């Protein structure tokens, strides 16, 4: 059975929270030289998860929120999944912060408005 759009939006929100958690752990343990690589791997996994969920959302749903770069999110998933050798921490980190905040706001709004 396929996951519903509501469930996929919830998955995105869960992954965003996990990315924020990984970032917080990295900040709390900044003295650990090995931790940045682990934090980056966690972030990549959750960005990949977000991309998978976004790719499975119906276009009618994503079209309602044109302020969110849905195709960029899907492409980042493809980069992580298929071109991992070209990944760079700067590229991955560029996807978090403000872009994730826009995505979170859109997902929360769609869930609240029962658009999914």
Query: What's the average model confidence in pLDDT over 63-89?
Result: 85
At 50 the pLDDT is 95
At 115 the pLDDT is 62
Burial of 38 (0-12, 13-18, 19+ CB in 10 A): middle
The pair of structure tokens assigned to 67 is 């302020």
pTM for the structure as a whole? 0.88
Question: Could you tell me the pLDDT band of residue 85, with boundaries at 50, 70 and 90?
Answer: confident
At 83 the pLDDT is 80
Collapse the DSSP code of 84 into the 3-class scheme (helix H, G, I; strand E, B; otherwise coil) and give the result.
helix
């Amino acid at each position: 059975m396929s996951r519903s759009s509501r469930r996929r939006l919830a998955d995105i929100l869960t992954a965003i929270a996990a990315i924020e958690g990984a970032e917080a752990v990295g900040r709390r343990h900044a003295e650990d030289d090995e931790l940045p690589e682990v934090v980056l791997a966690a972030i990549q996994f959750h960005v990949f998860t977000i991309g998978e969920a976004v790719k499975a959302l119906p276009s009618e749903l994503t079209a309602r929120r044109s302020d969110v770069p849905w195709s960029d999110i899907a492409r980042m998933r493809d980069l992580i999944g298929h071109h991992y050798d070209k990944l760079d921490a700067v590229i991955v980190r560029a996807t978090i912060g403000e872009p994730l905040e826009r995505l979170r706001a859109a997902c929360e709004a769609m869930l609240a408005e029962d658009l999914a």
